[in-house]
Amino acid sequence: MAVVEAIGVRKSFGHTEVLRGVDLTVEQGQVVCMLGPSGAGKSTFLRCVNHLETIDSGRIWVDGVPVGFRQHNGKLHELREKDVAAQRRHIGMVFQRFNLFPHRTALENIVEGPVQVLGVPVAKARADALALLERVGLAEKASAYPRQLSGGQQQRVAIARSLAMKPKLMLFDEPTSALDPELVGEVLDVMVSLAREGMTMIVVTHEVGFARSVADQVVFMVDGAIVESGPPEQVLDNPQQPRTRQFLAKVF
């Protein structure tokens, strides 16, 4: 069973159609990198997968369950917010901005979700959080507050916080775009290690080198639609669509 199955997804904001019939399948353990110009709809699609945005038509399933809806008597009914929140427990999302609690330490930021949402005992949550900090190379920063961390360090804490919820799927929305160039590598290294460990991931990114080395599938979006997709060696090295070639010529 696919971890993510999107069929005919459409989304408009006012009179502007941002997603125009997006189809995408992500199998377990796959890394899918979404490329494209700003305004292509990549981030909106990612937010729809997590039901942070409600789609206008089409369907999205995560792990076989319709996102944000339940099926009853052949019809789909939108879930209440608390039920949507329960679905999101299984989906980790890392944003462009780190969104850490400024008044909590790195350790406390990671512990919060498992304790408050999953009911994990505090002692176990702390032990797990320390292991995650070590995993992202920040074991010595457990007691540091976000203001005491660089942007790259904050983003690695944000990744650890998502992993603490033991997600089936990780969504990354341009996780390095807000970072100084010299800090990008430390975040990408963590993402590479996650990919090698078999985490299912959808990554919206402009980091073409990362997509080339890690992605199982590269998706190129423009004007709310997927115009080309396939293995990185196909899409990045031998793109078939003129719009893809034009975009890559500017990126490389």
Model confidence pLDDT, tens digit, residues 143-187: 999 999 999 999 999 999 999 999 999 999 999 998 988 899 999
Distance of CA 82 to the CA centre of its chain: 21
| pLDDT for residue 65 | 87
| pLDDT for residue 61 | 93
Q: What is the 3-state secondary structure (H, E, C) of 116-185?
A: HCCCCCHHHHHHHHHHHHHHCCCHHHCCCCHHHCCHHHHHHHHHHHHHCCCCCEEEEECCCCCCCHHHHH
Backbone φ and ψ for 123, nearest 5 degrees, come out as: -60, -45
- pTM beyond 0.75: the answer is yes
Residues of the chain with pLDDT under 70: none
| pLDDT for residue 79 | 84
Starting at the earlier edge strand, list the strands of the sheet with 217-222: 91-94, 169-173, 201-204, 31-35, 217-222, 225-230
